[in-house]
């Protein structure tokens, strides 16, 4: 069984070597451990330092594409390299690599296909009280949207079984952490979390410029992914918000009409008609979105099958090349 530890990196020449060397190369139940660094358009010595530190594979993006796309590219490359388990960690050595064996244990035991490393949020001194509160709130919102029980949704220290990794399709360009949990929950991929340690913070996060930006972008991501993967509950809920006051207005008019005072309250019927029209349109949009979601699910299944076939395709290509070389000789 092969484990590939992928590390998205952008200008991490000062920390990438420490992160790579900390990765355990011998793990019970794993035959081979390899390191894949995804260079997201670095302009410093990140790639050279990574090679010198022992990275087995370097995937260089043509330009800076962002963390989410670099993560997705790494997943596809890891699958193409024949990974049975993929662990994602940060290039700034934030997560304790000694916890990788514990992180992949639920996958080896076949009790889960995705495992998220849960950091001790309350014990991290570099996190302000506000950030800790927002971390807990954000994780709670993700749990409600995904139907899962992951206590640390923003954690980037994760392990993916091969089949689960192939089924994930990140569409967000900002971050993959929240989206993949909601996707996995909606696709009923078995998921769990294990406690992991963290190392001393070496630099502030470069993913967002401030807490307001982080909260805003995370909220947009959660809402967008929920709408994409659960359109019926979302649009029908919004439609109900319009339909309820419409029904109240109609009921009010009928009561007044039965009391002989309905003539002066026709505007209630006009308002109710407008609200019901909006509710009907939203319900129709929800049905159409659900049909689109069903089509997207079929396309994602096709994509997953193609990703799982890539190592075999590469092997077949190598065999054909060897046969052609032999015939030419």
Burial 114-151 (b: 16+ CB within 10 A, else e): bbbbbbebeeeeebeeeeeebbeebbebbbebbebebb
pLDDT at site 326: 47
Which sign, positive or negative, has the C-alpha torsion 263, 264, 270, 271? Answer: negative
In this structure, what token pair is assigned to residue 151? 């206590």
- In this prediction, the residues of the chain whose per-residue pLDDT falls under 50 are 315, 317-329
CA 133 to CA 289: how far, in whole Å?
Answer: 34
Tokens 């514990």 belong to which residue?
102
Q: What angle do CA 28, 32, 36 make, to 5 degrees?
A: 120
Could you tell me which residues come within 8 angstroms of residue 179 by beta carbon, excluding any fewer than 6 positions away? 68, 170, 171, 172, 221, 225
pLDDT at site 264: 64
Is there a contact between 155 and 124 (Cβ–Cβ < 8 Å)?
A: no
DSSP class of residue 199 equals P
pTM recorded for the entire structure: 0.79
pLDDT at site 309: 84
pLDDT at site 329: 47
Could you tell me which residues come within 8 angstroms of residue 181 by beta carbon, excluding any fewer than 6 positions away? 116, 142, 146, 148, 150, 153, 191
Residue 38, strand partner residues? 8, 59
């Amino acid at each position: 069984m092969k484990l590939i530890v992928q590390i998205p990196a952008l200008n991490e020449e000062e920390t990438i070597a420490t992160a790579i060397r900390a990765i355990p190369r011998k793990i019970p139940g794993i035959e081979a451990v390899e390191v894949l660094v995804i260079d997201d358009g670095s302009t410093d010595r990140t790639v050279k330092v990574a090679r010198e530190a022992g990275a087995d594979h370097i995937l260089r993006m043509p330009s800076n594409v962002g963390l989410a796309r670099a993560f997705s590219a790494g997943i596809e490359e890891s699958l193409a390299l024949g990974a049975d388990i993929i662990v994602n960690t940060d290039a700034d050595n934030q997560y304790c690599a000694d916890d990788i064996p514990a992180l992949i244990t639920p996958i080896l035991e076949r009790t889960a296909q995705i495992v998220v490393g849960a950091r001790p949020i309350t014990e991290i001194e570099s996190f302000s009280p506000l950030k800790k509160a927002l971390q807990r709130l954000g994780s709670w919102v993700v749990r409600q949207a995904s139907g899962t029980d992951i206590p640390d949704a923003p954690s980037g220290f994760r392990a993916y079984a091969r089949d689960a990794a192939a089924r994930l399709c990140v569409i967000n360009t900002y971050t993959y952490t929240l989206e993949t949990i909601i996707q996995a929950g909606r696709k009923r991929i078995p998921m769990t979390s294990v406690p992991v340690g963290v190392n001393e913070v070496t630099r502030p996060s470069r993913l967002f410029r401030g807490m307001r930006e982080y909260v805003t972008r995370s909220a947009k991501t959660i809402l967008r992914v929920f709408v994409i993967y659960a359109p019926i509950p979302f649009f029908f809920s919004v439609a109900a918000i319009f339909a309820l006051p419409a029904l109240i207005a109609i009921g009010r008019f009928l009561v007044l009409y039965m009391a002989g005072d309905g003539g002066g309250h026709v505007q209630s019927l006009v308002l109710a008609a407008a609200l019901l029209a909006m509710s009907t349109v939203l319900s129709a949009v929800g049905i159409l979105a659900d049909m689109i979601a069903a089509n997207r699910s079929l396309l994602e299944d096709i994509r997953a099958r193609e990703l799982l076939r890539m190592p075999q395709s590469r092997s077949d290509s190598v065999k054909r090349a060897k046969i052609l070389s032999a015939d030419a000789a």
